[in-house]
Amino acid sequence: MAQAKLVSIVESTLHPNYSDLYQEKGLTETKVNSIRKAISIIKKQPVEFIVAEFFYAYSTNYSGVSKSNLDVLLVSLMKYSPDTKVIVLAEKSEFKFVDVLEALNFPLHAILVHPTNSAQMEALL
């Protein structure tokens, strides 16, 4: 039986390293540093989990009408990997903006506020 796959999208130094935990849970982790690379992976094969940080689009940081860095990822998941469980990590100051993701109609598995700990993550896997 193939191991379950998890993609960690590491876009900042705040992203915690839970690689050992993922391995203990029988997950094969792939680390990428951009949403675009994560989408490339899910287009080839669905994954069980994605762990990604949330960044709110305060200005024109993201193209078009995007409200965050995760908008395009969540829309892509609907098409290519609809059963993926998405765990979102957010800074305390940005947590109040996470509800913009609800408009995309892709259910999030969990939202954790930095700093996170391995017990929180383990409970979600």
* Domain ranges across the chain: 4-124
Query: Average pLDDT, stretch 84-97?
Result: 95
| CB neighbourhood size of 88 (10 A) | 21
pTM of the model: 0.91
Query: Is 38 in contact with 52 (CB distance < 8 Å)?
Result: yes
Of 18, 94, 6, the C-alpha closest to 54 is 94
Examine the pLDDT at 1 and tell me if it is beyond 50. Answer: no
- Can you tell me the mean pLDDT for 36-42? 97
Q: Which fold has domain 4-124?
A: Rossmann fold (3.40.50)
* Percent of residues, the chain, with pLDDT higher than 90: 80
Higher pLDDT, 33 or 104: 33
